[in-house]
Structure 1
Amino acid sequence: MSDHDDVCVLLPTMNEAETVARVVTDFRDAGFETLLVIDGGSTDETQSIAREAGARVVEQTGRGKGQAVREAVRDHVESPYVLMADADATYDADDAAAMLEPLFEGEADHVIGNRFADMRPGAMSRLNRIGNRLINLAFRTIHREGYRDILSGYRAFTRESFRRLHLTADGFGIETEMAVECVKNRVPVAVVPITYRERPGGSATNLHPIRDGGVIFLELYRKAKTNNPLFYFGSVGAASTAAGLAIGAFVLYRYLAVGVSHEILAVGAVGATILGIQLLVFGVLADMIHSLHREQIARYERALGGETVEGTSVADGDGRSVEADASAEASPATRTPSSEPDDAAGRDGRGD
């Protein structure tokens, strides 16, 4: 029996005929028997080549990498662990054991492979490198977690934890959305150093740096609405307030220095300043509500974790035991038959 029988290697593909056989073979040589290629309707021989190499091939019903990953995990993956990689031969199958170790050891439910730990020459253009650094900096600023490489396509996660994430991105924003959702849902995340290689000659990337980079930045900002509302509303509020004050200063200077009044600009400046201050206040209030919500969720989870086997007590927010079974103090006249000592549930210590 293989050590990886409970792992499904998931490979989203789109016109990867040049590299998919090599990727599938490398993972099979590494000891993985369950390989699923979810294809986005390739116009080359990707599907047939993947089948010949020994992978199970499914064509997705929609379009985009994000939709492919969601559909694959939801409808086609049965293994409790998923190892996701790109089929462009840039990731090393030899790193799979290190990627899966935090899952097997119970240290994390989601693992991200850090490409910057060992990036080979030519693996990433200067523009893409700068864009990745900026996106990771924005993620750390907005969502207050440093995952080092949130755009990495080399991931390992439990199927159960994946189902806790609310994912809607269809394209390359799926990696960013997964990272944000892990923060939002407090999924334990581990970052593992991996090797990132240059794409083999003859294979073309499906990534468009400017277009997809813009989509990713928008996704980061959009997700801040529910994960960091102070930044979401506060950034717009600060910009509006600054613009209003700048215009107001210009209007005041022109009036004092030249004697020319700009009534329309003055009204716009006042409106922008008021709007900005309102957004800032709303951001602070929303952040307070968000913090209280998280505290309540944490308290509720601690209470559930403190339940005893018999269901007679739970731990409250301070970790103290409180009685949860009111029937324990009920009088004999009000007790139900199931609470009598000679009842089967009473004898084995279990209730309905």
Structure 2
Amino acid sequence: MKLSIVIPVYNEIHTVGAVLQSVSKALPHVEKEIVVVDDGSTDGTREWLAAEQAKDWYGLVEETALTAVRLVLNAKNQGKGAALRAGFWQSSGDVIVIQDADLEYDPRDWQEMWRLIDEGRADVVYGSRFYGKPHRVLYFHHLLGNKTISALLNIVCNTTLSDVEVCYKMFRKEVWKDMTLTCDGFGFEVEFTVKMARSPRRWRLYEVGIAYYGRTYEEGKKISWKDGIKALWLIIWFAIR
């Protein structure tokens, strides 16, 4: 099976190079591709990516078992959900994994996620920052918001997920092809989870523990309490449909 690594990027000039290097080294014996989607960056990220593409990414990524690096340039900033949809459509792999461009997550954690899918035990695997791996201690209101969103979604979807808002979601390509995604921003996490869990295909869902090296707002973190409020309203909207 082939793995597509979809990386939405917005103003990450200081971290995107290191992220590309780390994901290219992960799962060295698996055929894979990287799909980078720049969502209208204004800090030089867009130009840097275009320059690296012109050099065929030479010296930046490991070529072993890497079929291609694709670059998608959104004309303007539309949000994480829109960037991910663009990346999904450009993906050619049998399995897709989402990777943020901010160094908060470690691609070495894909090993167990990939194994569950490769062995035919799972169709969808979520990482969980609450299952025993190292994680940076940061904002209580982020923890509270995530737990609240996860609890409400579990009620709506009859699931037991511990970390709905996690970046790391690995899934068979047919999972996203089975749904219509419309949320442009961080509401993607809620929309994807609800539509996946409610699918008549009854996808097999697993969670695995992952490490988390969170950033402060001063270090570039973008999600805010406003995104949490939007997520709660989105859950309510799905609940009454």
Q: TM-score of the superposition, structure 1-length normalised?
A: 0.58
Q: Would the aligned equivalents of 1:39 and 1:59 in 2 still touch at CA under 8 Å?
A: yes
From 230, 233, 238, the equivalent of 1:215 is 230
Check the 8 A contact 1:20/1:49 in 2, yes or no. Answer: no
- Residue-pair matches, total: 219
Instruction: Tell me which of 164, 176, 184 is aligned to 1:150.
Output: 164
| 1:68 maps to 2:68 | no
CA contact (8 A) 1:92 1:196 kept: yes
From the CA coordinates, give the structure whose radius of gyration is larger.
Answer: 1
Give 1:159 shift: 1.2
Task: Give the SS at the match of 1:204.
Answer: coil
Q: Distance in 2 between matches of 1:197 and 1:134?
A: 21
Partner of 2:196: 182
- SS of the equivalent of 2:240 reads helix
The residue aligned with 1:87 is 101
Relative contact order, CA 8 A, sep 6+: which one is greater?
2
User: What displacement does 1:38 show?
Assistant: 0.7
Matched AA of 1:12: P
Q: Output the amino acid matched with 1:85.
A: Q
* Cα RMSD for the two superposed structures: 2.0
Cα gap change, 1:24 to 1:200, in 2 (>3 Å): farther
Q: 2:135 aligns with which of 120, 128, 133?
A: 120
Offset of 1:188 from its aligned partner?
Answer: 1.7
**C-alpha distance after superposition, 1:35-83 (max 9, x if no partner):** 1111111012223444353443211256111111112212x11111111
Local SS of the residue matching 1:150: coil
Cα distance between partner residues in 2 of 1:77 and 1:97 = 20
Amino acid corresponding to residue 194 of structure 1 in structure 2? I
Pair 1:98–1:21, CA change in 2 (3 A): same
The equivalent position to 2:71 in structure 1, one of 42, 48, 57, is 57
Cα 1:78–1:33 shift into 2, 3 Å: closer
Contact 1:136 1:150 in 2 (8 A): yes
Matches within 5 A, 1:29-48: 29-30=25-26, 31=28, 33-48=32-47
The Cα offsets for residues 208-266 of structure 1, whole Å up to 9 and x where unpaired, read as 22x1011100111111134xxxxxxxxxxxxxxxxxxxxxxxxxxxxxxxxxxxxxxxx
1:297 aligns with: none
**8 Å contact from structure 1 (residues 120, 195) kept in 2:** yes
Deviation of residue 90 (structure 1)? Answer: 0.6
In structure 1, runs of 5+ residues without a counterpart are: 227-352
Distance 1:56 1:200, change over 3 A: farther
Query: Could you tell me which residue of structure 2 aligns to residue 293 of structure 1?
Result: none
Residue by residue, what CA displacement relative to the aligned partner does 1:79-127 show, whole Å, maximum 9, x if unpaired?
A: 11111111110100111111211211111211111012225233x4111
**Does the Cα contact within 8 Å between 2:7 and 2:98 map onto a contact in 1?**
yes
Aligned match of 1:277: none
Partner of 1:98: 112
Distance in 1 (CA, whole Å) between partners of 2:148 and 2:97 is 26
Cα distance in 2 for partners of 1:8, 1:66 equals 17
Task: Tell me which of 1, 5, 19 is aligned to 2:15.
Answer: 19
Structure-to-structure mapping, 1:153-302, within 5 angstroms? 153-185=167-199, 186-199=202-215, 203-209=219-225, 211-226=226-241
**Structure with the larger helix share:** 1
1:119 and 1:223 map into 2 onto residues whose CA distance is 33
The residue aligned with 2:64 is none
Give the aligned residue type for 1:60.
N
User: Which consecutive unaligned segments of at least 5 residues does structure 2 have?
Assistant: 62-68
2:223 aligned partner, one-letter code: L
CA change 1:87–1:111 in 2 (3 A) is: same
